[in-house]
């Protein structure tokens, strides 16, 4: 099979189109099937989730109803016994019943209810008959003599009587339940209660129980309580049986009391009696709060479906709860099975679609192959006839037969028209070939002559251009020399001008220096005068300080005399004190005066000593001041001498500066004259350079014109050669056309 066949191409194109169409239908079908499957799966999961939640909730409610029914029987029994026993204290009833009859009632109730673990009553001290002292430590009594009988049934079914234990105990068990709650709660609340699971000794064995107790109250006075105990085991059994009926036991059923104590855990019985936080350490607080409010919970996570429902026991205000938790895979097991079945059906449908599409494609390709043969057959016939015309050595007289009026007939018709037009055209070409040959020969001869003349003119123009370039070079050299001389003249002129400016600057600087020297001379004279005055003042100050030093020495001598006087006064005061002492009482006043004189003499001596120290300091400072002033006087003298020397030097510098200023003025005048002369020379040199430049430009223009003529001659020569080459090609083409036209039969 050839791919360049029209039939093959049509088959290929149609195949691609059909494959694309069928593939698109298949893809659409697959997408639709996938979407339907996803929708069905999602709907199934949602329906299953909703249905599972309802089923689990109903199962939880059923479990709660069953447990409630069992506990309600015990609670009703306790309520009945409490009502009967209250008749003993109710004056309206005045029921006569002693302890023996009450024990009979308790025992009978226990015997008739095999699910009960124990029946009992507990009365306040002497509240029943006031005979507690008589019954101390008797059967069913303890050391208090209170009426506290406890009838119990062991595992073998044996019934026994014992006194209640820990009925007043407020200590708690390990799970937080008070040991005496079965008695203390109804006493405190005066309402029937269901006690959280707790351990209690029954006929020598510790058993986990829950107590259903009812207070005995008459006119709001509490006298005691009546109760029924139930084994927690029966609640665990109910939970396990309920779990087996829910999704084949895949989950768990939990019974929780009001305070969160576990009464039953189907899959973890070892947690019975413990707090709910041991089973659900993360969410126990929220669940317990919801259970206490009596709210239901339905929660489906990625792993579990969980339901919590609460139920009220009798007239108590402490609801219990049932919690059912089932793995999500167990809930959706049947849904997953349905989804797998739907997936298998979808896969089968996809395979059927692909198989059907492939079969349809094969049949369609076969049909189109047959139909395409009928379509291509007339085209092949036209092709064969065209081949005959093409291989018949250019016979333009042959024509195609027109056998139909369809596209093939139109093709043959217009092909014949095309051949007729070309037949006439080839006739015209053949007639004009001779004229073309003659014109090509003439054009060839003309191009040869034109090329020869262009070469001669180009040679002459090149010679003239060479001479012109030499003359232009000479003129340019002269112009360059003139420009260089002008530039040098300008440089000399500029240098002279700069020299003149520098001389002016020197003159100005000398004048400023002269002014400055005069100012320095004046300042030096003033400094000499100030130094002279400072010298005189330092001499005066030195004399004054010497006088001050002498006065200080005299003051020091005076302080010495004061110290001696104080010492003598002190001796006189001491003698006066001695005399006053020897005079007795008559000399006491004189002794006081002598003592005061002694103190004044002491103070005078201290003051004189202080003054002496200060005078010594003044004398030392005075000597230092005199020495410093002497040194300052010496420095001022030296400064005065230096100022005089500077004054004389400044006067000499002033005379010299005036002479330099006069000489600089004369030199400045000469430099200005030189600069003017050099500027005139530079101006003349510029004129010469300008004229030489204009002459050079004229010669350059002539040279450029001659070069233009030379270039035109060269271009003419090139064009002549091109014309010659084209005429030769034209002659060859004419010959070739003549040969080609000669092959056709017209």
**What pLDDT was estimated at residue 344?**
74
Q: Higher-confidence residue: 657 or 417?
A: 417
Range from 111-115, 351-355, 562-566 carrying the lowest mean pLDDT: 562-566
- Residue 60 CA to residue 601 CA, distance in Å, equals 120
Which whole number is the average pLDDT over 144-164? Answer: 95
Confidence band, pLDDT 50/70/90 cuts, at residue 492 = very low
Q: CA 660, CA 653: separation in Å to the nearest integer?
A: 11
**Which residue has better confidence, 107 or 688?**
107
Mean pLDDT of the chain: 75
Q: Which residue has the higher pLDDT, 713 or 740?
A: 740
How far apart CA 632 and CA 636 sit, in angstroms, is: 6
Higher pLDDT, 75 or 406: 75
Torsion angle defined by CA atoms of residues 153, 159, 161 and 162, in that order, rounded to the nearest 10 degrees: -40
Residue 277 tokens, joined: 């936080």
pLDDT in the model for residue 666: 63
pLDDT average, residue stretch 623-643:
63
Lowest mean pLDDT among 406-410, 539-543, 689-693: 689-693
> pLDDT tier at 504 (50, 70, 90 boundaries)?
low
Per residue in 277-312, pLDDT tens? 999 998 899 999 999 998 888 888 778 888 999 998
Task: Say yes or no to pLDDT of 232 above 90.
Answer: yes
Residue 297: which region, alpha, beta or left (left: phi > 0; alpha: psi -120 to 50)? Answer: beta
Residue 377 — φ and ψ, nearest 5°? -55, -50
Bridge partners for 198 per DSSP = 209
Q: Taking residues 312-334, what's their average pLDDT? A: 84
Query: How much of the chain, in percent, has pLDDT values that exceed 90?
Result: 27
Name the range with the highest mean pLDDT among 401-405, 478-482, 705-709: 401-405
What is the pLDDT at residue 699? 47
Question: Is it the case that residue 663 has pLDDT exceeding 60?
Answer: no
Strand, coil or helix: 120 = strand
Pick the range with the lowest mean pLDDT from 3-17, 148-162, 284-298: 3-17
Stretch among 111-120, 223-232, 422-431, 641-650 having the lowest mean pLDDT: 641-650
Instruction: Choose the most confident range, by mean pLDDT, from 13-27, 106-120, 514-528, 707-721.
Output: 106-120
Cα distances from 409 to residues 396, 404, 405, in angstroms, run: 20, 5, 5
* Least confident stretch, 87-91, 516-520, 596-600: 516-520
What would the pLDDT profile of 170-213 be if each residue is shown by its tens digit? Answer: 999 999 999 999 999 999 999 999 999 999 999 999 999 999 99
Please determine, for residue 739, whether its predicted confidence score (pLDDT) is greater than 80: no
Residues in the chain: 746
What pLDDT sits at residue 62?
A: 87
pLDDT tens-digit series, residues 451-488: 665 566 566 556 645 655 654 565 465 456 545 655 65
Residue 124 has pLDDT above 80, yes or no: yes
**pLDDT for res 348:** 75
Greater model confidence, 478 or 734: 734
DSSP annotation string for 17-57: HHHHHHHHHHHHHHHHHHHHHHHHHHHHHHHHHHHHHHHHH
Residue 408 has pLDDT above 70, yes or no: no
Highest average pLDDT, of 27-41, 304-318, 595-609, 708-722, comes from 304-318
Distance of CA 613 to the CA centre of its chain: 83
Lowest mean pLDDT among 33-47, 96-110, 440-454: 440-454
Quickly tell me which residue has 């002014």 as its tokens: 515
Can you give the pLDDT at residue 119?
97
- Mean pLDDT across the stretch 698-710? 56
410: pLDDT confidence band, cut at 50, 70 and 90? confident
Question: Is 0.85 surpassed by the pTM of this model?
Answer: no
Share of the chain above pLDDT 70, in %: 48
**Per-residue pLDDT reduced to its tens digit, 264-274:** 999 999 999 99
Q: Is it the case that residue 714 has pLDDT exceeding 80? A: no
Average pLDDT over residues 255-265: 93
pLDDT confidence bin for 702, thresholds 50/70/90: very low
| Number of CB atoms found within 10 A of residue 619's CB | 18
Q: Which of 419-433, 460-474, 552-566 has the lowest mean pLDDT?
A: 460-474
How far is it, in rounded angstroms, from Cα 600 to Cα 606? 10
Burial of 512 (0-12, 13-18, 19+ CB in 10 A): exposed
User: Is pLDDT of 494 > 80?
Assistant: no
Q: Which residue is it, tokens 């087996």?
A: 244
Q: Cβ distance 68 to 230 under 8 Å?
A: no
Structure tokens at 118: 């124990």
Contact in structure between 44 and 293 (CB atoms under 8 Å): no
Q: 45 pLDDT exceeds 70?
A: no
Q: Which of 133-147, 186-200, 355-369 has the lowest mean pLDDT?
A: 355-369
> Looking at the predicted structure, is the pLDDT value of residue 87 above 80?
yes
> At residue 709, does pLDDT exceed 50?
no
175 alpha carbon, distance to own chain's centre: 50
Tell whether the model's pLDDT for residue 685 goes beyond 60: no
Min mean pLDDT across 156-165, 518-527, 693-702 is at 693-702
DSSP for 65-97, written as a single string: HHHHHHHHHHHHHHHHHHHHHHTTT-TTT----
């Amino acid at each position: 099979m050839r791919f360049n066949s029209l039939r093959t191409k049509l088959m290929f194109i149609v195949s691609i189109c059909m494959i694309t169409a069928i593939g698109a239908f298949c893809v659409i079908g697959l997408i639709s099937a996938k979407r339907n499957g996803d929708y069905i799966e999602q709907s199934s999961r949602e329906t299953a989730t909703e249905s599972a939640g309802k089923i689990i909730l109903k199962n939880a409610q059923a479990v709660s109803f069953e447990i409630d029914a069992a506990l309600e029987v015990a609670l009703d029994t306790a309520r009945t016994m409490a009502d009967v026993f209250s008749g003993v204290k109710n004056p309206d009833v005045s029921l006569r019943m002693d302890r023996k009859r009450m024990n009979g009632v308790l025992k009978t109730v226990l015997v008739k209810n095999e699910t009960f673990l124990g029946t009992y009553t507990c009365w306040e001290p002497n509240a029943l008959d006031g005979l507690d002292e008589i019954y101390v430590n008797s059967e069913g009594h303890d050391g208090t003599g209170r009426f506290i009988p406890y009838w119990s049934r062991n595992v073998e079914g044996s019934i026994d009587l014992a006194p209640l234990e820990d009925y007043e105990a407020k200590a708690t068990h390990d799970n937080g339940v008070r040991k005496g709650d079965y008695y203390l709660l109804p006493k405190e609340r005066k309402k029937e209660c269901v006690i959280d699971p707790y351990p209690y000794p029954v006929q020598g064995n510790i058993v986990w129980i829950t107590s259903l107790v009812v207070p005995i109250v008459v006119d709001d006075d509490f006298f005691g309580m009546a109760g029924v105990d139930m084994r927690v085991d029966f609640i665990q059994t109910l939970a396990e049986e309920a779990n087996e009926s829910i999704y084949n036991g895949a989950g768990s059923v939990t019974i929780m009391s009001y305070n969160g104590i576990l009464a039953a855990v189907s899959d973890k019985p070892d947690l019975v009696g413990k707090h709910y936080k041991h089973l659900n350490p993360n969410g126990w607080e929220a669940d317990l709060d919801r259970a206490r409010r009596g709210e239901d919970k339905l929660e489906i996570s990625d792993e579990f479906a969980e339901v919590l429902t609460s139920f009220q026991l009798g007239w108590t205000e402490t609801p219990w709860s049932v919690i059912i938790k089932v793995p999500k895979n167990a809930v959706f097991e049947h849904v997953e099975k349905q989804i797998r079945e739907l997936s298998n059906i979808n896969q089968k449908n996809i395979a059927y679609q692909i198989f059907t599409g492939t079969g349809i494609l094969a049949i369609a390709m076969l049909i189109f192959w047959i139909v395409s043969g009928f379509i291509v057959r007339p085209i092949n016939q036209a092709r064969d006839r065209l081949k005959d015309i093409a291989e018949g050595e250019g016979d333009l007289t042959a024509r195609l037969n027109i056998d139909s009026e369809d596209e093939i007939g139109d093709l043959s018709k217009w092909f014949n028209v095309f051949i007729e037009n070309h037949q006439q055209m080839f006739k015209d070409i053949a007639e004009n070939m001779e004229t073309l040959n003659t014109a090509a020969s003439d054009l060839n001869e003309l191009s040869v002559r034109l090329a020869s003349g262009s070469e001669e003119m180009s040679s002459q123009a090149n010679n003239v251009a060479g001479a012109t370039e030499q003359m232009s070079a000479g003129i340019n050299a002269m112009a360059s020399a003139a420009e260089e001389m002008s530039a040098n003249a300008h440089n000399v002129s500029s240098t002279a001008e700069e020299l003149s400016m520098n001389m002016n600057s020197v003159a100005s600087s000398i004048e400023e220096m002269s002014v400055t020297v005069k100012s320095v001379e004046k300042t030096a004279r003033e400094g000499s005068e100030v130094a002279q005055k400072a010298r005189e003042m330092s001499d005066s100050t030195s004399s004054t300080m010497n006088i001050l030093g002498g006065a200080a020495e005299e003051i020091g001598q005076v302080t010495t005399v004061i110290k001696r006087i104080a010492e003598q006064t002190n001796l006189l005061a001491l003698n006066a004190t001695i005399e006053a002492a020897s005079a007795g009482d008559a000399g006491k006043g004189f002794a006081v005066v002598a003592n005061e004189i002694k103190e004044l003499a002491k103070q005078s001596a201290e003051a004189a000593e202080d003054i002496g120290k200060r005078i010594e300091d003044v004398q030392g400072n005075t000597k230092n001041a005199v020495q410093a002033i002497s040194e300052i006087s010496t420095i001022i003298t030296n400064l005065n001498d230096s100022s005089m020397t500077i004054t004389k030097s400044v006067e000499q510098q002033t005379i010299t500066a005036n002479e330099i200023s006069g000489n600089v003025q004369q030199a400045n005048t000469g430099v200005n004259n030189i600069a003017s002369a050099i500027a005139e020379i530079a101006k003349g040199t510029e004129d010469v350079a300008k004229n030489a430049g204009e002459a050079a430009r004229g010669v350059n223009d002539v040279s450029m014109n001659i070069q233009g003529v030379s270039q035109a001659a060269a271009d003419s020569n090139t064009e002549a050669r091109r014309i010659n080459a084209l005429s030769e090609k034209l002659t060859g083409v004419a010959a070739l056309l003549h040969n080609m036209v000669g092959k056709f039969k017209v």
